[in-house]
């Protein structure tokens, strides 16, 4: 399956300032598959070491972390000589081996001719530990669950994806194509973007197997809670994790610690939120007092929303039945639009908006996402239904006079003065919306 990050890997390989690459991302988002596919096409040789499967591989990195000694040790272990030419060294699941992470500094400084990619399911957690991260000595990339555009390409709809990306005007699509994309979109909300899940459905068209695989992924995440944290912290992490779908299903999706545990406060779960974020399992959107640059300077980090990394896993946690796929609008309104807002959050993150923000007025207006593009700021309102109500966007417009008002909904493309509607299936095109007005 094609991944958008593949092109960045090619650029990394040929770049003049190439450093060892750290590929981050949650478990099961496809890091190992992507790197192996990249190595198969871009290199003659792949040296693959998985430090979770074979924990004793860490012993190859003991001592002074001299790259030539490490390469010699790996050669002895594999029984073949390793040269830098046309070879990719792939160190996988290195969150279990901090010394491997540290060694990347010396590979960059002493033997930059080696092409190295290191990946790990919990690299974000490992990176937070003092003394282990080679600051300035590595390139960084993050792989997310498959976006809706990647889903469409996997289902043979690459032509439509390219057409949406290449549009130079805001104009409605033919109704038959719009309906086709909405049908795909509803299925994506159930399947989500975990590659194993999508591949299974493509191969078998078995919706029951989809839910089984999603639940297995969720169980693997919970095992990580216990494996990589203390017993007490693992309990708190599981407790908060289980509360996320319930919080999203509320009308007011602002996260409340009291809804996780009665009388709980930020001090009880702040560390847990940080751990889940660094593990790539959640996305956070912070409330801003006013839309000014930089947005982070006006954020209230005590007021935020928590979104799941994948909308399909959210559905599995809520135990949503597959019949919702064929009902005309049920999945759009189910759980007060929780699926739709979560979907938009993960699409924005995967397409470069890694810091999410939302705005609320002192009255009752709320804009779901505030997007920063170059030196401009745009409001984005998410509608799960066909309502034409623009109350919150108009309230925002009256206060801040933005150049562009954006709504995303099940409706077709619409343009009216400075207002545009982007269909939910085309959220990945929003960053280019300014060019189309």
Instruction: State the sign of the Cα–Cα–Cα–Cα dihedral 136, 35, 31, 227.
Output: negative
Q: What is the pLDDT of residue 135?
A: 80
Q: What is the pLDDT of residue 331?
A: 60
Rounded mean pLDDT of 249-277? 90
Residues 6+ apart with CB under 8 A from 325: 186, 187, 189, 190, 207, 331
| Burial (0-12, 13-18, 19+ Cβ within 10 Å), 83 | exposed
Edge to edge, the sheet with strand 115-120 lists 45-50, 87-92, 115-120, 21-24, 139-142
**Dihedral in degrees, nearest 10, Cα atoms 295, 298, 304, 309:** 20
Which domains are delineated in the chain? 5-142 (3.40.50.300), 148-193+276-436 (no CATH)
Please write the tens of the pLDDT for every residue from 23-64: 999 999 999 999 999 999 999 999 999 999 999 999 999 888
Alpha-carbon distance values, 357 to 248, 286, 339, 376, 401 (Å)? 16, 5, 18, 14, 18
Rounded mean pLDDT of 151-172? 94
Please write the tens of the pLDDT for every residue from 333-366: 666 678 899 999 999 999 999 899 999 988 778 9
Q: What is the pLDDT of residue 235?
A: 93
Pairing state of beta strands 366-367 and 356-360?
A: antiparallel
Band of residue 211 on the pLDDT scale cut at 50, 70, 90: very high
Residues 6+ apart with CB under 8 A from 109: 137
Instruction: State the sign of the Cα–Cα–Cα–Cα dihedral 357, 361, 367, 370.
Output: negative
Residue among 136, 96, 144 at smallest CA distance from 120:
96
Tokens of 137: 């000595």
Q: What is the pLDDT of residue 334?
A: 62
Instruction: State the sign of the Cα–Cα–Cα–Cα dihedral 304, 305, 308, 309.
Output: negative
Alpha-carbon distance values, 82 to 89, 112, 224, 330, 399 (Å)? 9, 15, 33, 56, 63
Whose structure tokens read 């809520």? 318
Q: What is the pLDDT of residue 291?
A: 94
Q: Is 340 left (phi over 0), alpha (psi -120 to 50) or beta?
A: alpha
């Amino acid at each position: 399956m094609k991944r958008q990050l593949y092109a960045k890997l090619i650029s990394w390989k040929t770049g003049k300032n190439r450093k060892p690459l750290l590929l981050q991302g949650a478990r099961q988002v496809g890091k190992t598959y992507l790197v192996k596919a990249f190595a198969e096409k871009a290199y003659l040789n792949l040296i693959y070491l998985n430090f979770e499967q074979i924990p004793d591989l860490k012993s190859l990195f003991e001592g002074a972390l001299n790259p030539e000694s490490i390469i010699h040790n790996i050669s002895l272990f594999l029984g073949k000589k390793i040269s830098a030419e046309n070879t990719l060294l792939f160190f996988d699941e290195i969150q279990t081996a901090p010394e491997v992470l540290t060694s990347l500094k010396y590979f960059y400084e002493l033997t930059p001719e080696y092409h190295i990619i290191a990946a790990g399911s919990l690299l974000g957690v490992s990176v937070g530990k003092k003394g282990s991260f080679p600051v300035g000595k590595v390139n960084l990339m993050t792989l997310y669950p498959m976006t809706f555009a990647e889903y469409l390409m996997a289902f043979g709809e690459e032509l439509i994806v390219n057409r949406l990306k290449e549009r130079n005007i805001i104009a409605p699509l033919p109704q038959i194509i719009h309906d086709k994309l909405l049908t795909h979109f509803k299925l994506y909300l159930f399947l989500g973007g975990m590659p194993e899940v999508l591949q299974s459905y493509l191969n078998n068209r078995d919706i029951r197997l989809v839910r089984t695989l999603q639940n297995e992924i969720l169980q693997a995440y919970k095992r990580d809670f216990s494996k990589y944290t203390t017993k007490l912290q693992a309990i708190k992490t599981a407790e908060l994790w289980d509360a996320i779908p319930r919080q999203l299903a509320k009308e007011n999706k602002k996260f409340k610690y009291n809804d996780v545990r009665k009388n709980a406060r930020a001090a009880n779960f702040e560390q847990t939120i940080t751990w889940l974020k660094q593990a790539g399992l959640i996305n956070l959107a912070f409330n801003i007092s006013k839309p000014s640059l930089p947005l982070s300077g006006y954020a209230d980090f005590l007021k935020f929303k928590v979104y799941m990394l994948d909308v399909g896993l959210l559905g599995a946690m809520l135990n949503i039945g597959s019949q919702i796929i064929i009902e005309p609008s049920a999945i759009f309104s189910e759980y007060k639009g929780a699926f739709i807002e979560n979907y938009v959050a993960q699409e924005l993150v995967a397409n470069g908006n890694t810091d999410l923000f939302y705005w609320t007025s002192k009255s009752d207006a709320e804009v779901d996402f505030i997007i920063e593009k170059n030196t401009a700021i745009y409001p984005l309102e998410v509608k799960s239904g066909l309502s034409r109500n623009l109350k919150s966007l108009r309230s925002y417009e009256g206060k801040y006079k933005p150049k562009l008002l954006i709504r995303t909904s099940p409706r077709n493309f619409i343009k009216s003065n400075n207002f545009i509607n982007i269909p939910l299936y085309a959220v990945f095109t929003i960053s280019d919306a300014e060019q189309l007005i």
